Amino acid sequence: MPRFGKIAVLFALFALLSPIEARAVETAPPLSAREIIERLTKVETKIDANTAAIAQLWQDMNAQFDRLSQLILGILGAFTALVAVTIGFALWDRRTMVRPFESKVKVMEDELARDRESLHSLLEAFRSLGKSDEQVADVLRQFRLL
């Protein structure tokens, strides 16, 4: 048998033949009714304290959610106001920009209407002149005005 095998067999025999120490389980002394009541009272006190702590935690959480919802509503309100002000400014700016343009166009239309009347009067004068003067009539025919 190889040397390693002999050592393993010796250890196995030593483990089997060595005395095993048995430890006895120590029993607890019986508790009196008073001790049981005291311990239960301590447990109830701890449960009540934990219940109060959990209730306080719920209240704190609800308060935090309320603060967050108020913050979100505030941000949403500010954004809505900003958009409304921007749209209002754009509309106001367009109106103030268009008014001067409209007044200038109105003046130009009035001048054009007056010039059109003057042009028709001048054309009628040339047509009348073309009836008596052949050169004027030729010029008016050349530009298709007669």
Instruction: For residue range 49-60, list pLDDT tens digits in order.
Output: 888 888 899 999
Distance, CA of 9 to CA of 2 (rounded, Å): 11
Among 96, 145, 91, 95, smallest CA distance to 122 is for 145
- pTM summary value: 0.43
pLDDT at 119 over 90: no
Domain presence at residue 16: no
- Per-residue pLDDT tens over the stretch 78-98: 999 999 999 999 999 988 888
Domain presence at residue 90: yes
Between 85 and 9, the higher pLDDT residue: 85
How many structural domains is the chain composed of? 1
Distance, CA of 58 to CA of 19 (rounded, Å): 60
Domain presence at residue 3: no
Q: Are 127 and 145 in contact (CB under 8 A)?
A: yes
Q: Which domain holds residue 113?
A: 37-142
Tally helices (H) and strands (E) across the chain.
3, 0
User: Tokens for 72?
Assistant: 């979100």
Q: Residue 66 — pLDDT band, cuts 50, 70, 90?
A: very high
Domain presence at residue 15: no
